[in-house]
Structure 1
Amino acid sequence: MKKILTTLFSITLIVLFSNCSHKKEKYATILYFNDAHQIYPVRDELGERGGVARLKTIVEKIKKENPETIVVFGGDLAGGTLFGGLYHGFPMIEAFNLIPIDIANFGQHDFDFGSDITKQLVDSSNFKWLSSNLKDNKNNTFNNLPTYIIEQKAGIKICFIGLTDNMNTTKQDGKIFQKDLFEACKNSLQKIKNETPDIIIALTQTSLKTNEKLINEFPQINAILTEEQYENSSNIYYVHKHPIVSPCGNMGSVVRVDLNKINDEISLKIEVHALDSLVAENKELAILQEKYKNKLNAELSKPIAKLLCPLPIKGNLYKETKAGNLITDAFRDYYNSDIALINGGGIRANVDKGVFSLKDAHSLLPFGNKICVVKLTGEDIYNFIENSLNDDKHKRESFLQISGASYKYISNKLVSIYINGNPINFDKKYTVALSNYLISGGEGLKKISKNKILISQEKALNDVDLLINYCKKKGEINPKIEARIVNLKIIK
């Protein structure tokens, strides 16, 4: 596999996979983007990018050049950010209906608030969704959606399939299941064969390595449009001349793919258009952006406590952190459980010291997980925590922050656990407050059986609500590092 193009925000580059000219002949265009976590532009240390108003400007410009255009969204519009945590993706659907887009695939974060919310998002859409590998508990395609979609533009029969990976990192509600990508791809391609498309394009939410394997196993896939590899660059790779195209994160760019059919041969021309400050905003969508931004800021600027120390995000995946201590203390305080846990990957923001607002709380915990209570033996707890640990090479989002207990470890092996100052008793049963996400096997941890659940997600409160109530009660919050988690390898 060869990487052939990287583009930063300030430039637009072109890769030509075969000689083609569109001056005299009709051609089809696909506009592709993904990772739409908030409706207005993202502003951070990488600059300003994204926003639906700029997206509509690019779409209108290219559709004016070529009416034979299909606008495709690759997935992830619901969760994963503060904006998504509050609005669950519905403002993005409203904007996409106005742009408008034509086809959408799912990312795993589109299920962060449960598959019932995802169905509402689909039902609110004026565009088509597809999935080739997501099934319900009756083994039907999720929401009875098609496994592939065929569009005809400029005399070219274009077939799309949709593949979604990493569903173990979203909410597990027992209503949505990820089937093997390769088996699903094989089944879809078999059905497509009778449709005799001119070109097959896979819309994927998976890793670059998996995309490469898909092309090697299924060479009839002409191109893959996939998830972002980087926040600030768009990338085009190829495997045996088959492109794998990855736009910027947070709607930072739009990929344009022009398809030309000459003597039954399809040629591809690929451009990357940055959605940066150089792109003018569509007025209608700019008003919509501002409406939601103002609404969000008004709601979230309300103070709830005074924070006496900063809460950096760094470290949540490999060591004890102040944010982890604060959050797990809030869970344990509400339920009066023996211990409380949160996976470090569920803590999503830096918070500066000073006024601690609703915005800060929702930024820390944007997923809306329910905090349940289970009763586990000491042995269960020991194994659960040990399975969450990193190895020497990888930091895992499963790494557990803790309250009411402390543990020491080396690499991915536990050395000791103390609960309430006493060595853990393998035979004793303890109450544990943790999210429904972890209970259901999120981050690859072992699923906790239903007969061990004392307070289920149906009766549980949201994680962010517990944090807010705890901080309000305290008035001033000043979490400390207390040797709750000790990496003995670092000490040595």
Structure 2
Amino acid sequence: MTKRVRFVHFNDVYRIGPKDTEPVGGAARFVRAIHDKAPDALVVFSGDCFNPSLLSSATKGAHMVPVLNKCNIVAATYGNHDLDFGEDTLIKLSNDCNFPWLLANMHHADGSCIGTAKNHLIHEHNDLRIGFFGLGEEEWVGTLPDPPENMVYRDFIEVAHEQVKFLKEQKCDLIVAITHMRLPNDQRLADSVPGLDLVFGGHDHFYKQEQHGDCFVSKSGTDFQEFTILEAERGAGGERWQVKSERIEVVGSMPQDSEMEKLVEDMEAHISETLDKVVGYTETDWDVRAEAVRTKESNVGNFFAGVMRLRYGAELGLLCGGTLRSDTVYEAGPITARDINTILPFQDPCVVLSITGQQLLEALENGVSKYPAHDGRFPQISGFRFTFDPAMPPMERVVEVLVGEEHEELDLNRTYRLATRYYLATGHDGYDILQKCPEILDHELGSLLSTIVISALKEVTVVKRWKERHSMLRGAIAAWKGIRPWTQRRPEQEGCIVCPRPDGRIQTVEQRSNSVPPEKRTRYSVSYAYGVEVGSPQVDHPLSSH
């Protein structure tokens, strides 16, 4: 007799309202779509929902509970950002959910589970026994701002073997791992654990479906913009489940769930008046997609790191790609407080550290150690530039670092002033070396990066043009040049016009070689050779520290 079961899979959802571009997503259309297109499916969620988002900064994730509860989820696993507000908050949020959370390889020292999680779940459906278990990866344990006390991580492959063995002994017909891990780890899991049939993965924000031997791996995008319907079928006597997947994009023509639509409207209206105020204008698109800010230099990263650096009079500025959220392209035009807070939802302040050249080098090595993975540690910088070689082993990739307006070689023994987020200063995302750097401005005196950016856009009235190829800030009195068809700004309106652009401050060896005369390219084959040119943004009039 043929056995058959359908699943709906989604992961990494932050923004409950629709976007302006297709697929628009939004919780109201998403909920209606999964109910309309797969009413009999088992819904599985792979983590990250309670943070980061604009609303979560106010609700600490509570606004996501009624959204998830409407999805009829059968099982979910925690993502790293679900623990951003600490375990006590996580427990409260989890208890308010109408579905179980699973996480088998992270526990307290006494063996108890994190939050309200269980190791596994056996669910009976259409005469099938389906075994679920949850997994996370070690890489994101170090990113938790407030980790559970005495948290113990176990290798996900080892734990998966144990869980599959147990679930087989319980006569499960189909075994599913719900993970919050990067694709390479999900692929390794699928290849290494016999008896595992499906991997429903989160953490990555892209869409991908692939077969790995006898195991099928699903990644289903982000932000209520898409989901996957999967049908698993096995004939009588068959050993392997055959899996077919269908990608469903949540587009504007889809109907909305009326109850969810009202809920979203009420929550967004609560803070919309303040957030929708225009604070500045940009002449260039801001690409804040994960693939743009976690693998290469970003114009938005350049701008934000530069504003932060100048705000505190630091020589260097360091952010990471994971700082920049929303996974959206913002077209040239008005920028609102909502836009800035959506891109920068985190609530840790900026700090200034005293850092040696050697420590900066180690920090940069960490920043590119996971490249080309879309990893949040990838650096976004100001005040310096560097080149790295992806072909070299991790922590041996940086081959050039240049600092300052005078194109100076990095002095490994010199001390520099570095502006960064407190999150990085406390060693998260692998930036352990920053914990050894003394604070010049501590976190109790620092401001939120979102506040710094908004203040810069609103309050700077005279800032001279940055060097060619770099970002520009012009005063609020400058006339809007109308590169998009909206009403010209009145002179009394607040806000600067900005024009951030990539300028080559972060390049691979190959990219750098293509832009350097042949007679100079031999320098790039020398490990830890420092020299060449600098392209850090410098201004003639620093931002005032209001």
Instruction: Give the aligned partner of residue 105 of structure 1.
Output: 77
> 3-state DSSP class of the match of 2:73?
coil
Name which of structure 1's ranges 254-263 and 205-214 shifts more when overlaid on structure 2. 254-263
CA contact (8 A) 1:350 1:364 kept: no
Q: Does 1:55 align with 2:75?
A: no
Residue of structure 1 aligned with 2:336, choices 354, 357, 372? 357
Mean alpha-carbon deviation: is it higher for 256-265 or for 152-161? 256-265
For residues 12-161 of structure 1, the aligned pairs below 5 Å read 20=2, 30-44=7-21, 46-49=22-25, 51-56=27-32, 58-59=34-35, 62-63=38-39, 70-79=42-51, 89-112=61-84, 115=87, 117-136=89-108, 140-143=112-115, 145-161=117-133
The C-alpha deviation readout for 1:158-191, integer Å capped at 9, x for no partner, is: 2101112341684443435653211221333354
**Structure 1 segment 178-197 matched on structure 2, within 5 A:** 178-192=153-167, 194-197=169-172
User: SS where residue 356 of structure 1 aligns?
Assistant: strand
Check whether the contact 2:367–2:377 (CA below 8 A) recurs between aligned residues. yes
Q: Partner of 1:476 in structure 2?
A: 496
Partners of 2:241 and 2:152 in 1: how far apart?
36
Given that 1:107 and 1:205 are in contact with CA atoms closer than 8 Å, whether structure 2 keeps it comes out as yes
Match of 1:238 in 2: 211
Give the residue type in structure 2 aligned to 1:290.
E
Please state if 1:255 is matched with 2:237: no
Aligned-residue CA RMSD (Å) = 4.1
| Secondary structure in structure 2 of the residue aligned to 1:245 | strand
Q: How high is the sequence identity, in percent, across the aligned residues? A: 20
Aligned counterparts of 2:82 and 2:300: Cα–Cα separation in 1: 26
Change (3 A) 1:59 1:90: same
CA positional deviation for 1:98: 3.4
| Residue pair 2:302, 2:381 contacting (<8 A) in 1 also | yes
User: Following TM superposition, by how much is the alpha carbon of 1:358 offset from its aligned partner in structure 2, in angstroms?
Assistant: 0.3
Answering whether residue 266 of structure 2 is matched by residue 291 of structure 1, we say yes
Indicate how the Cα distance of structure 1 residues 361 and 50 shifts in structure 2: closer, same or farther if over 3 A, else same: closer
TM-score by length of 2: 0.70
Aligned residue runs from structure 1 range 248-397, under 5 A: 248-251=221-224, 252-257=226-231, 270=244, 272=246, 274=248, 276-277=250-251, 279-295=254-270, 297-304=272-279, 306-307=280-281, 309-310=283-284, 312-313=286-287, 316=293, 322-348=299-325, 349-389=328-368, 397=376
Q: Distance in 1 between matches of 2:123 and 2:199?
A: 16
**What CA deviation, in whole Å up to 9, does each residue of 1:425-478 have, x standing for no partner?**
433433322123323444444443367345565664432122223333314253
SS of the residue corresponding to residue 2 of structure 2 reads: coil
Judge conservation of contact 1:376–1:452 (CA < 8 Å) in 2: yes
- More displaced stretch, 147-156 vs 248-257: 248-257
Which residue is 1:406 aligned to?
Answer: 384
| Distance in 1 (alpha carbons) for counterparts of 2:114 and 2:71 | 25
Cα deviation, 1:84-106, whole Å, max 9, x if unaligned, reads 66655432211122343332112
Matching residue of 1:465: 451
Q: In the TM superposition, what is the alpha-carbon distance from 1:129 to its structure 2 partner? A: 0.7
Kept after mapping to 2: 8 A contact 1:319/1:485: no
CA distance in 2, matches of 1:99, 1:391: 34
Rounded to whole Å, the distance in 2 between the matches of 1:417 and 1:102 is 52
Q: Which moved more, 1:215-224 or 1:260-269?
A: 260-269
Tell me: CA distance 1:117–1:373, structure 2 relative to 1, closer, same or farther (3 Å).
farther
Matched, 1:485 2:470: no
Contact 1:74–1:226 (Cα < 8 Å) also in 2: yes
Among candidates 403, 415, 420, match of residue 418 of structure 1: 403
Structure 1: segments with no counterpart, 5+ residues: 1-18, 22-26
Of 160, 170, 173 in structure 1, the residue corresponding to residue 146 of structure 2 is 173
Contact kept in structure 2, 1:75 and 1:104, CA below 8 Å: yes
Distance, in Å, in 1 between the alignment partners of 2:268 and 2:368 is: 38
Q: Which has the higher contact order (CA 8 A, sep 6+)?
A: 1
Q: Which deviations, in whole Å up to 9, do the C-alpha atoms of 1:339-388 show, x marking residues without a partner?
A: 32112453345444543320221233234443233322232123323543
Residues 102 and 133, structure 2, Cα contact 8 Å, conserved in 1: yes
Q: Which moved more, 1:185-194 or 1:355-364?
A: 185-194
CA distance in 1, matches of 2:233, 2:370: 45
| Unmatched segments (≥5 aa) in structure 2 | 390-396, 461-494, 517-546
Whole-angstrom CA distance in 2 between matches of 1:190 and 1:456: 50
CA distance in 2, matches of 1:486, 1:56: 43
Per-residue deviation at 1:258? 6.2
The DSSP-based 3-state class of the residue aligned with 1:146 is coil
**8 Å CA contact retained: 2:100, 2:118:** no
SS in 2 for 1:143: coil
Rounded to whole Å, the distance in 2 between the matches of 1:489 and 1:446 is 31
Measure the CA separation in 2 of the matches of 1:319 and 1:32. Answer: 29
Residue 214 of structure 1: aligned partner? 189
User: Using the alignment, how far apart are the partners of 1:280 and 1:392 within structure 2?
Assistant: 40
